[in-house]
Structure 1
Amino acid sequence: MNKERIENLSIILKKLNQEGATEEVRQEALSIVKEISPVELSIAEQNLIEEGMNPQELRGLCEVHMEVLKDELDKIKTSITEGHVLNTMIEEHEEILKLLKKLEVLNNKIQKMNNYDEEGNIARELVELADNILDAENHHQREEQVLFPEMEVLGITGPTRIMKMEHEDLREKKRRIKSLGENAKYVNFEAFKSDLDETAKYLIFNLRDHIFKENYILYPSALETIKENSKWEEMKDRCDKIGYCGFTPSH
C-alpha cells in the first residue's frame, strides 16, 4: 500500500466534502483513484472518520472511484468460484436490483392513479413486493455478522461502519413501504401517493448506490485483505448457519 496515495486521496475526499464535486476537484480525484486500490480507498475513508468526520458525510464521496470501476464487476466474479461467500452476495445484489426495478415500475403506476379503487389489488402488490425486498435481511446479516468482522480484524473498519449505518437507514425505508401498502385504504389517497413516492425513490436511489459501493469497493477490499481459502471456507460455514434469502440463486 502506498501511504502517499492514501494521504492524497484523504485530502481529495475532504475537498469533495467541503467544496462539492467541482470539475477541477473531480479530475484531481480521478487522477489519483485510477492508481488506487479498494483497500487504499477504504483506509483513506477510515482515516477521515478517525479524524472526526461523520461517516454520514462520506456517503456519496465514492462516486469518482465507482466511475473508474464501472466495468470491473465481471473481473471480480471470474476471480472467485460459484458458492464463494462474495459470489453469492453479488448474485443476491443482482436479484435485489431487479426488485428495485419492479418497485420503480409499481410506484410509477400508482402515481398515475386518481383513487384507490382504480386497482383493487395494488396495495397487496406493494406489500408483497416490500416483503420480497425485506427478505434481503439474511444477506445483510451475513455481511454484518461474518464478512464485516473479518475485515475489521484486519484493520478495515471505515467502510464497514458506513455500510452498517446504511443498512439501518434502508431497513426503515423498506418497512415504511410495507406499512404504506398495508394502510393504503385507510388514508387519504393523495397523501399515500406522496409518501410512497418520496420513500420509494429514496430507497431505490440509495439502495442501488449501496449495492454499487459494496460490489466495487467493499467486496474487492475483502478479497484483497482476506487471502486464506480456509478462512473463506470457514466464513461460508457461518453464512450457511445464518441462512439465505428466498431469491438467492445459488450458494
Structure 2
Amino acid sequence: MSELINNREEGISAHRTAHIHLLKEIIKELHHGKSVEEVKSKFNQAVGEISVDEISELEQVLMQEEGIPVTEVQRLCSVHAKTVFKGSIQDIHRAHQPEEQPGHPVFTFKRENQEIDRLANFKIALHLDQFLKDQGEANRLKLLEDFSLLYDVDKHYSRKENLLFPFLEKYGIYGPTKVMWAVDDGIRMGIKEVKAKLTHDEGNAQSVVDLAKRVLNEVTEMIYKEEHILLPMALEKLTEDEWLLIAAQSEEVGYCLVAPDQPWIPERAAEPGAGQGLGSSPLQEGYIRMSTGILSVKQMESILNHLPVDLTFIDEHDIVRYFSQGKERIFVRTKAVIGRSVQNCHPPQSVHVVNQLLADFKAGVKDAEDFWIPVKDKFVYIRYFAVRDEEGNYLGTLEFTQNIKPIQELTGQKRILSP
C-alpha cells in the first residue's frame, strides 16, 4: 500500500513539475515578444486551470533559475494577471471560511479594496473627465483632494508588506511578495507624481489624465491580484493563530479609507481582555547584569521605549531581533518582522543599498553610515552602527532613527526649568 501511495505522490509531483515548466515557458515567450493572444491560446490548450501555489512557484522560478529581475517579473506577471491567467485561477474551496467574518484581516483587506475601487473607478474617473473638459481651479483641486485620499492605500499596502508577507516568507513564499511590493511602490510613486503635477499646475491636462489613468489601472489590477492570488494563497497557508497575530497588530499600521467595525473573535478564541492577549507575553522576571550596572528586564525595556528615537537591531545573520516601541515611531514596525531577514523588510529596489551597507560593516570597511530625509512634517536622521564585541567581531547592526526637526529649530539658550 505504501508503494502505491509513494507512486501516486511521485506522479502528482511529476505532473506539477511539468505544469510549472509549461507555465514558465509561456511567460518566457511573452518576455521574448510573442503576442498575448498567441500565448493565451497555448495556455488554454496546454495548461487549463492554474492554482495560486503554481503562480507563486512560477514567479520564484523565473527569478531564481532564469535570473529575470524582479522588475521584469513584475511586468510579465501584470500581463498574465490581466490577460493570460485571468479567469483560469482555481477557486479554493474551504468548508470553514473565517475570512468572511467581520474583523478578519482578509475581510478587512477586501472591504478596503471595495472602497479603493469605488474611489478610483467612480469618483476619480468622473473627476478626470470633468478636468479634461475644464482645467479650472475647482476641478484641479477636486482631483488633488481625490489623489491625496487615494494615497491612503499606503496603509493597506503597508499592512500587507509588514504583517502578511513575513508569514508567507515563513512558508518559503518569496517570489510573489517581492514582485507585489515592487508594484505597490510603483503605485505609491505614481500617486505622488499625479499630486505633484496637479499641485504645480503645468497646464498639460492630457499628460495629467494619462498618468492618472495608468495609476488607477495599476491600483485596480492590484485589487485583482490580491483577491485572486495573494489572499487565497495566504488563506491556504496561514493558521488561525497567525491570522490572529495579524489582526492584533493591524491597528498599529492603520487602515485604508475604512476601519473594521469590530475585532475578529474566532469561535475557539477568548474574548479580548480575557487573560493575556495573543501576540504579547508578560515580561520575564529577572535582571540583566552589565559592566556598569544591573537592570531588571522591565526597567531595560521601559528605558529603551522612552528614548526619543526608534531603535532596531539585526544580528550577524541579517535577522531582525529587536525594535523599540516608542510613543511616536517614525517608520512602521510590527512584531511580525522579528525573525525576518532584513532584506525582506525593504522594497526590492532598495535591497542593494542594504546589502552594500551590511557588507561594508562585516568587512570592517565602515563602522557607521548616516542618511537624512524629509518625511511629511519631519526631518528624519537615520544612523546605522556596526555593533562589535571587545575583539572587534561583528555582532550585528543597530538602526537609530530620530526626527531632528525640533532640534534644528533650537535657537539661543535655555538654562532654567520651564515654569
Shift of 1:133: 0.2
SS of 1:4's partner is helix
**Offset from partner CA, 1:112-146 (integer Å, 9 cap, x none):** 12x53xxx422221121111101121111100101
User: Which residue of 1 is the match for residue 53 of structure 2?
Assistant: 39
Pair 1:14 & 2:14 matched = no
Contact kept? 2:70, 2:178, Cα under 8 Å? yes
Indicate the structure (1 or 2) with the bigger Cα radius of gyration.
2
Displacement, 1:100?
0.9
- Partners of 2:125 and 2:172 in 1: how far apart? 38
2:124 paired with 1:103: yes
Counterpart among 57, 62, 65 of residue 48 in structure 1: 62
**Partner of residue 222, structure 1:** 234
Give the 3-state SS of the residue equivalent to 2:86 in structure 1: helix
1:194 equivalent in alignment to 2:206: yes
Shift, 1:93, TM fit: 1.0
Measure, in 2, the Cα distance between the counterparts of 1:203 and 1:248. Answer: 24
Query: Secondary structure of the equivalent of 1:247?
Result: coil
TM-score, scaled to structure 2:
0.53
One-letter amino acid of the structure 1 residue matched with residue 116 of structure 2? I
Q: Do 2:194 and 2:211's aligned partners in 1 also have CA atoms closer than 8 Å?
A: yes
For residue 124 of structure 1, give the secondary structure of its aligned residue in structure 2: helix
Cα displacement (A) at 1:89: 0.6
Residue 180 (str. 1) matches residue 201 (str. 2): no
Q: 1:8: how far off?
A: 2.0
The alpha carbon displacement at 1:23 in A equals 3.5
* Structure 1 unmatched runs, 5+: none
Determine if contact 2:158/2:253 at 8 Å carries over to the other structure.
yes
SS in 2 for 1:61: helix
Q: How does 1:1-251 map to 2 (within 5 A)?
A: 2-31=16-45, 33-50=47-64, 51-58=66-73, 59=75, 60-62=79-81, 63-69=83-89, 80=99, 81-101=101-121, 102-113=123-134, 115-116=135-136, 120-184=137-201, 187=202, 189=203, 191=204, 193-226=205-238, 228-248=239-259, 250=261
Contact 1:177–1:200 (Cα < 8 Å) also in 2: yes
The Cα of 1:215 is off from its aligned counterpart by: 1.2
Answer whether contact 2:36 2:84 (CA < 8 A) is retained: no
C-alpha contact (below 8 Å) 2:80/2:86 kept by paired residues: no
- The Cα shift of 1:224 comes to 1.6
- Take 2:94 and 2:111, find their aligned partners in 1: how far apart are those partners? 14
Structure with larger RCO (C-alpha < 8 A, sep 6+): 1
1:60-109 CA distance string (max 9 Å, x none) = 23332223249x59999966222211121111111111111222211111
Q: Distance in 1 between matches of 2:94 and 2:127?
A: 33
In structure 2, C-alpha distance between the alignment counterparts of 1:112 and 1:176, rounded to whole Å: 21
- What's the RMSD between the two structures over aligned residues? 2.6
Q: Give the partner amino acid of 1:109.
A: Q
Residue 165 of structure 1 deviates from its aligned partner by 0.5
The CA distance in 2 between the partners of 1:74 and 1:246, in whole Å, is: 29
Report how far residue 249 of structure 1 moved.
5.8
Contact 2:120 2:216 in 1 (8 A): yes
Letter in 2 for 1:197: V
SS in 2 for 1:68: coil
Q: Which has the higher helix share?
A: 1
Distance 2:160 2:171 in 1: 15
Instruction: Using the TM superposition, give the Cα deviation of residue 4 of structure 1 relative to its aligned residue in structure 2, in angstroms.
Output: 2.4
Letter in 2 for 1:149: P
The share of aligned pairs that are identical, in percent, is 27
Deviations 1:205-235 (A, max 9, x none): 1111122111111111111222x11111111
The SS at the match of 1:67 is coil
What letter is aligned with 1:130?
F
Which amino acid in the other structure matches residue 104 of structure 2? Answer: H
Distance 1:13 1:212 in 2: 19
Q: Is the 8 A contact 1:151 1:225 kept in 2?
A: yes
Q: For 1:129 and 1:31, how far apart are their aligned partners in 2?
A: 44
Q: How many residues align?
A: 240
Kept in 1, the 8 Å contact 2:148–2:195? The answer is: yes
**Cα drift, residue 164 of structure 1:** 0.6
Go from structure 1 to structure 2 and tell me whether the alpha carbon gap of 1:73 and 1:204 turns closer, same or farther (over 3 Å shift): farther
**1:30 deviation in Å?**
2.7
Q: CA deviation at 1:172?
A: 1.1
